[in-house]
Chain A
Amino acid sequence: MTVQSEPGHADLPALFRRMTGDEKHEWAAASTLDVLWVLYDRVLDVSPDRVDDPDRDRFLLSKGHGPMVYYAVLAAKGFLEPSLLDDWTSWGSPLGQHPDRVLVAGAEIGSGSLGHGLPLAVGTALGLRLQGRSARTVVLVGDAELDEGSNHEAIALAGRFGLDSLTTVVVDNESGTHGWPGGVAARFAVEGWQTSTVDGRDHGALHDALTQAHPGRPLVVVAKVEGER
């Protein structure tokens, strides 16, 4: 899959710095860094020349806040021209502090307001299933985002509908004020989801968790990362 000229994980800091000007390696602390890289590098069946292919996998970034890593990964994978990163959030730039699917080829949804991605992902997975397509739908949410009740409507539905083409990745940096006693995964397990809780910095563990078989039910991968608010 990977061609030699394609940027790799090592190029992400430079892409990140084009947006932040950060010299302190703040990029490495970004909670979604490793999950997004593993998804785009090794899991998702997507590519810049197939953004309208109905059989492409769908990745929905529900937690749209702090999208620098997302833009960096999209640039590294050829969805975005890297020079766009230099003047992001300016008037006329397609890149804002929250992504907009209408402006960014390859962004499946616009996000920013929390709690919208999971219900959209359930509808997307359902629509693909109704059309007999086998593409996966992967949605990324944050642990604090789970506070929004709309997620729990969607978690219950996906379990009841047995949406086995749906994967939720919860990036868990324990940023929710009131927390999830018993762990985030328990909220999904009780609704019939298959669950994995892994080190959100461990590429091998993330890959294994994201590619495991989960016939007949949706999958949640809880990616634990060190605290960052």
Chain B
Amino acid sequence: MRQVFVDTVEEVMRHDPRVVVVLAEISRDAFRPQERVVNVGIREQAMVGVGAGLALTGMRPVVHSYAPFLVERPFEQVKLDFGHQDVGGVLVSIGASYDDPAWGRTHQAPGDVALFDTLPGWTVHVPGHPEEVGPLVRRALAGDDRVYIRLSLRRNASPHPVVEGFTEVRRGARGVVVAVGPVLDTVLAATAGVDVTVLYATTVRPFDAAGLLAAVRGGRANDVLLVEPYLEGTSAHLVAEALADVPHRLRSLGVRRDAELRAYGTAEDHDSAHDLDVPGVAAAVRRMFGPPAAAA
């Protein structure tokens, strides 16, 4: 995904003089050196502040680093230098929740999307395939708003067309499963043979409340399983809002909140620890929607 991001930004920069990239060492070798690629060194507060300063002059900054160092360390700069100053920018992270768990907790940011939920006006994209990255980046660069794009090494086997709301990947009657970004393949495997609707999201903010409500109304049961590749329940409040007038059940899967896992290993190990692997999601699906048709 990172390579597609870099290639897309460089291509757009050739004809759009507004676009300028601000880095803090990470990915410095991925971009070809030029005047409008600014590496500030290991200075993440300045990275975000400089990006916002560039926006104050009318430019379109792309601020990029590893997720914890882009969102968490300079969070007040994100809040004030972009939000409070009311300027736009495109923040693009890599690393996601635990792309490289051998590096430990310092390089994990499962709370990034939840943090953006504390700030008004941010669009949040979570692509699930490298081919989805290009259109999302292109659209973000063409705008003036505040956009966060969360890139990951995790991916689905095939891309889906990038649309604004949720995409119905499968239709069923016993409820709705919302799969965000890279968890789609896991969700599809875990719901095989289960009569549920599966919605796929690459854009989680704004949240497609109308799409979810329509999907819920299209089935027989108002049951929603939300599966997100970051902190569990991050979008639960928006599901509750979307279904405010519909008696419903909601269960949320994601990176667990109750404990810090002091373990390294692989991303797949961490999926298992958070019940975000196929058996874990399938167990939640079974509890909520009953067993698959073949086993019933």
What is the interface of chain A, defined by CB distance below 8 A to chain B?
54, 58, 100-102, 108-110, 113, 115-116, 118-128, 130-131, 133, 149-150, 153-154, 156-157
Instruction: Select B46's contact among A110, A131, A133, A153, beta carbons within 8 Å.
Output: A153
User: Which parts of B127-182 form the interface with A (CB within 8 Å)?
Assistant: none
Report whether B20 and A120 are in contact in the complex, using a CB–CB cutoff of 8 Å.
no
Given the contacts A101-B85, A110-B85, A116-B80, A127 and B45 also touching, CB distance less than 8 Å: no
Instruction: Select B50's contact among A58, A100, A115, A122, beta carbons within 8 Å.
Output: A122
User: Which parts of B44-87 form the interface with A (CB within 8 Å)?
Assistant: 45-46, 48-59, 61, 76-77, 80-81, 84-86
Given the contacts A54-B57, A150-B45, A153-B40, A113 and B76 also touching, CB distance less than 8 Å: yes
Contacts of A126 in B (CB 8 A): 38, 50, 53-54
- CB pairs A–B below 8 angstroms (19 shown): A101-B85, A108-B56, A109-B85, A118-B49, A119-B46, A119-B77, A120-B53, A122-B46, A123-B56, A124-B53, A124-B54, A124-B57, A126-B54, A127-B54, A130-B36, A131-B17, A149-B45, A157-B40, A157-B41
Cα A101 to Cα B132 with chains together (Å) = 36
Report whether B59 and A119 are in contact in the complex, using a CB–CB cutoff of 8 Å.
no
Given the contacts A113-B80, A116-B77, A128 and B57 also touching, CB distance less than 8 Å: yes
Contacts of B86 in A (CB 8 A): 101-102
What is the interface of chain B, defined by CB distance below 8 A to chain A?
17, 20, 22, 35-36, 38, 40-41, 43, 45-46, 48-59, 61, 76-77, 80-81, 84-86
Cα A58 to Cα B49 with chains together (Å) = 16
Specify which of B51, B57, B58, B76 lies most central, judged by the most chain A CB atoms within 10 Å of its CB.
B57
Count A-B pairs with CB separation below 8 Å: 101
- 12 additional contacts, CB 8 Å, given A116-B80, A119-B50, A127-B58? A100-B84, A110-B84, A119-B49, A120-B50, A122-B46, A127-B55, A127-B56, A127-B57, A127-B59, A130-B54, A153-B45, A154-B49
Cα A109 to Cα B46 with chains together (Å) = 16
